[in-house]
Amino acid sequence: MIVETAFDPVGAWWFEVEDVGIPLSAEDWRAVTHVLSLCEGCLKATNALFVEQVVVTAAGGVETEFVLSPGQGLAALLAAIQTAVPALFVIVLRGHTKLNSQEAVVRGAVEFEAHLAGRIQLSVKVFSDDWLPYTLTGTPQLDAASANAPILAKALQGLEDAFGKQFNFETSTRYAVVEHYGLDNARDYDGDLVGLE
Give the Å distances, CA to CA, from 42 to 56, 103, 105: 21, 22, 18
pLDDT in tens, 73-107: 999 999 999 888 878 889 999 999 998 867 778 88
User: Region 172-190: what's the mean pLDDT?
Assistant: 88
Residue 170 pLDDT: 67
Hey, which residues does 184 pair with through a beta bridge? Answer: 177
User: Using CB atoms within 10 A of its CB, is residue 86 exposed (0-12), middle (13-18) or buried (19+)?
Assistant: exposed
Range with lowest mean pLDDT among 34-43, 115-124, 150-159, 163-172:
163-172
User: In the predicted model, what is the mean pLDDT of residues 37-62?
Assistant: 92
- Average pLDDT for 1-13: 67
pTM > 0.85: yes or no: yes
Residue 3, pLDDT score: 47
pLDDT at 197 over 70: no
